[in-house]
Amino acid sequence: MSPVQERPVLSAQATATGIDAATAAVRRVIESLLNAGSSAADLSGVAARLNAIADELAEQAPPVDERIADMWRGEGVTRHDPVTGPENAIAPPMPLRGMPDGSVEGRVSLHLPYQGPPGLVHGGVSALLLDHTLGVANFWAGATGRTGELTLRYHRPTPLFQELTVRGRQVAASGRKIWAEGEIRAADGEVCVSARGLFITPRPENQRFGGH
């Protein structure tokens, strides 16, 4: 049986309870603050309530080193990463799936938290989505590494508020070097951003947490 048949879902699945639900609520707060802006009525009261929640969470947090190690368990299908992670409020999130041709694909609609120019996705956000997608594509192909070089070409502005398709695929591997390519397409099928990455497999003595 091929790996695509065995494990087509390459990102952690969000649940409706616990930390996933709390993280989804934080995403709502972030977007709502951006939508409201300075026109919101009692922001000082909102800030006090949010700070109280942050203080409560901070009191329960384990040591940072312990948390870092825990977050990297499940390499390739982590729950914390800033692209697909259901535990990370920065993540849209964008689920990724393995495709029959060996590539990976995700679909996502980005809103105001990811804006650069008015109505358009920030170029650095596009780079984040593609870097992570290429890393997962390498994981899916069976040879992973850390980003050594990422080259992007911005073909046209990437729109907010519509479904984008993000794809990645490993194209070659030789020794510790791995090459992957990917792209972001708008809802009309046109390529907005394309990327090519060089990834380097760490030497065994440098593989603390693994990772792309």
The model's pLDDT over 102-153, given as tens digits with 9 standing for 90+, comes to 999 999 999 999 999 999 999 999 999 999 999 999 999 998 899 999 999 9
User: If residue 125 lies in a helix (H) or strand (E), which one and from where to where?
Assistant: helix 123-141
pLDDT for residue 75: 54
Please return the burial class of 11, using the count of CB atoms within 10 Å of its CB with bins 0-12, 13-18 and 19+: buried
Closest C-alpha among 88, 141, 120 to residue 193: 120
Instruction: Please report, rounded to a whole number, the percentage of residues in the chain having pLDDT higher than 70.
Output: 89
Alpha-carbon distances, residue 42 vs 28, 52, 112 (angstroms): 18, 16, 21
pLDDT for residue 202: 87
Instruction: Please report, rounded to a whole number, the percentage of residues in the chain having pLDDT higher than 90.
Output: 73
Q: Are 103 and 16 in contact (CB under 8 A)?
A: no
Nearest 5 degrees, angle CA 99-CA 103-CA 108? 75
Domains with residue ranges and CATH for the chain: 94-206 (3.10.129.10)
pLDDT for residue 4: 39
pLDDT for residue 189: 97
pLDDT for residue 66: 81
Over 60: is that where the pLDDT of 12 sits? yes
Question: How many Å apart are CA 201 and CA 142, to the nearest integer?
Answer: 12
pLDDT for residue 3: 44
Residue 5 confidence class, pLDDT cut points 50, 70, 90: very low
Gyration radius of the chain's alpha carbons: 19
The model's pLDDT over 66-100, given as tens digits with 9 standing for 90+, comes to 877 776 665 556 788 999 999 999 999 999 999 99
Over 90: is that where the pLDDT of 22 sits? yes
Token digits for 141?
């192909």
pTM score:
0.88
Bridge partners of 184, per DSSP, are: 166, 193
pLDDT average, residue stretch 162-177: 97
Q: Which long-range contacts (CB under 8 A, 24 or more apart) does 79-84 make?
A: 79/12, 81/132, 82/128, 82/132, 83/128, 83/129, 83/132, 83/133, 84/11, 84/12, 84/132, 84/136
pLDDT for residue 103: 96
Q: Could you give the 3-state DSSP secondary structure of residue 75?
A: coil
pLDDT for residue 208: 56
